[in-house]
Amino acid sequence: MCPDTGKAEAGHRGRKRLNAEENERVHFKEENKMTINNQAVETWIGEMAEMTRPDRIVYIDGSKEQIEELRELAVRTGEMIRLNQELLPDCYYYRTSPKDVARDEKRTLICTKTREEAGPTNNWTDPQEMYAKMKKLYQGCMKGRTMYVIPFSMGVPGSPFAKIGIELTDSVYVVLNMCIMTRVGAGAVRLLEEGADFTRCLHSKADLNENEKYIVHFPEDNAIWSINSAYGGNVLLGKKCLALRIASFMGRNEGWMAEHMLILGIENPQGEVKYICAAFPSACGKTNLAMLIPPELYRKQGYKVWTVGDDIAWLRVGEDGRLWAVNPENGFFGVAPGTNDRSNPNALATTKRGTIFTNVARNLDNNTVWWERLDKEPLVNGEDWLGRPWNGRESEEKGAHPNSRFTAPAENCPCVSSEFNSLTGVPISAIVFGGRRAKTEPLVYEARNWNHGVFMGASMSSETTAAANGAVGVVRHDPMAMLPFCGYNMADYFRHWLEMGRQVTDPPKFFHVNWFRTDEEGAFIWPGFGENLRVLLWMLDRCEHKVSAVKSPIGFQPDPRDIDLTGLDIAPETMKKLLSINLDIWKDEAAGIETFFSQFPDLPKELAEELTTLKKNLLIPTANPRNASSSIAV
């Protein structure tokens, strides 16, 4: 089933690996070897080793010395390429198999005792059946290889938010990525030796057989098994697998929430910082918003934006009755194409040191990296993501894969928050949902209350683009941007949100945004990027009761005069379009929401009631958002 170490690993075609004898001559320093004094841990590792049969076992302590030795090993085997260390210090390049380039949702399973527990939106298989199938695939799959034991913490060790995991893997790429994305080593080991429970994560590349690829979650056993993939989203098991699918299940049982949300802080000229969580489906500017740079007008006034997290938030109710959030990750696993000095200069700056680049193009003139829309000059002497010679001026094919990635340490980010490593997290003033809608959703509106906010998130959707899949305007529902990541029945997930609302005595306000309204020619009419701060500041003014709002059929909208447009060339008629609501389009929207909700037999009654309210409101003429007399203070 498994290739021997003398063969070239898929994804590194033409590069020779060390053979087994050479591999045995690569030794780790004695001080980098360790054990974990926890009988449950050692028993589990022993059982997994007995099944997978590695030649040796190496414990990962996260030290700089051990990481450097692993980098050297990856370069010697051809698994990774060392990039220009003057221009990109401690940066490396990696290629996956051409058939292993993204998360594989069809082969991502939630295995619970009953199908109902997984719900209609997850792929379900009986856990005993799946264990039996997986054990056959794992049998002897690490022969000739090293099993790496990675003890890691999601969240700062010692924080009440933190969760501990151990990933066993035969991939150096996984080890090095996990050392960026999670907190590996002593902190996690200490908690394990104190008896902390841990998520049991098992991964093997096996032989990268796409027909036997599985990413399987056993929420009731706190376990994740992944095989036959080497792509980050399928094998970095601390990320979406633990931090969302397993953690959402934990959160439901323990009274907190794991969400697919960024966390950002906005500092005003007086030095006060307010925090916002936001959830967006793909292609809606999530990372760009997380690392937003204020427009020059606001920078001169003293406004700053701080990044706490770009992808995942864990939220708990604090003793003060507010909702507090942490980012459980320690790095960024970002999409490279489209990242540039205009779209996200902070993200680009973050990649300049200690980063692993996956499936991008390589500049052979200076041994650096390149991807589409990085700059205006395509490579002439390049190598594409498949390792082929590539001239961007002549080739019709892309140099970088559209889902090519960078894995970068969060500490590199110029705008990383001083609260990034906080044990208690940050208090959340506003929760934002958003999507890409050409005509339906206005620029911004506010929920009436918590239940309406949950409805807003549960019904959120986005339209596909031609670049995405060849179809324009196809509406896809993605509740809270969690559809691929919820580890249990989504109807129960909605119910958990509603229950959390009853625990929060000082709740955040909920908002919906749409940066993507278009005119009759299909051009965007809101400038987006850093200018989105203007809308966020209106939200915070609402949270602090500084401005009134206009009642509409879908919620509360801004009086246009309350969104500062200083320095923008936006005419009053354009602003009217941005905030307009077409009742006929919204009636169709309500019908689409009803159809989506119909797949949940046990939909919470509160959401059904909110849908009924929306349909009733759409029969009432909408208030003129430019009429100040219709404003209400709430």
pTM of the predicted model over 0.95: no
CATH of 259-327+420-632, one of 2.60.40.10, 2.40.50.320, 3.40.50.2000, 3.90.228.20: 3.90.228.20
Residue ranges of domains in the chain:
20-79+105-254, 259-327+420-632, 332-409
Q: Is 91 a catalytic residue?
A: no
Q: Mind listing the pLDDT tens digit for each residue in 1-56?
A: 333 333 333 333 333 333 333 343 344 333 346 789 999 999 999 999 999 999 99
Q: Mind listing the pLDDT tens digit for each residue in 247-297?
A: 999 999 999 999 999 999 999 999 999 999 999 998 788 999 999 999 999
Residue 330: CA count within 13 A, CB half-sphere: 20
- Looking at the DSSP bridge assignments, the partners of residue 555 are 552
| 49, containing H or E segment | helix 39-52
Q: How confident is the model at residue 469 (pLDDT cuts 50, 70, 90)?
A: very low
For residues 441-448, give the mean pLDDT. 98
Please report, for residues 8, 110, 186, 231, 333, the alpha-carbon distance to residue 222 in angstroms, rounded to integers and kept in the order given: 34, 12, 22, 22, 24
C-beta atoms surrounding 520 within 10 Å: 6
Characterize 221-256 residue by residue with b for buried, 16 or more Cβ atoms within 10 angstroms of its Cβ, and e for exposed.
ebbbbbbbbbbbbbbbbbbbbbbbbbbbbbbbeeeb
What's the pLDDT score for residue 284? 87
What's the pLDDT score for residue 465? 61
What's the pLDDT score for residue 620? 64
Please report, for residues 421, 472, 510, 527, 627, the alpha-carbon distance to residue 327 in angstroms, rounded to integers and kept in the order given: 9, 34, 20, 28, 41
Separation CA 12–CA 171 (nearest Å): 13
**Domain 20-79+105-254 belongs in CATH node 3.50.50.60:** no
Span of 254-258, 419-423, 618-622 with lowest mean pLDDT = 618-622
Q: How confident is the model at residue 621 (pLDDT cuts 50, 70, 90)?
A: low
Q: Mind listing the pLDDT tens digit for each residue in 161-220?
A: 999 999 999 999 999 999 999 999 999 999 999 999 999 999 999 999 999 999 999 999
What's the pLDDT score for residue 285? 86
Burial (0-12, 13-18, 19+ Cβ within 10 Å), 360: buried
Instruction: Tell which wins on pLDDT, 491 or 2.
Output: 491
Instruction: Tell which wins on pLDDT, 2 or 333.
Output: 333
Of 284, 413, 415, 486, catalytic: 284
Q: What top-level class would CATH report for the domain 332-409? A: mainly beta
What's the pLDDT score for residue 16? 34
Separation CA 41–CA 193 (nearest Å): 9
Q: State both tokens at 262.
A: 């960024």
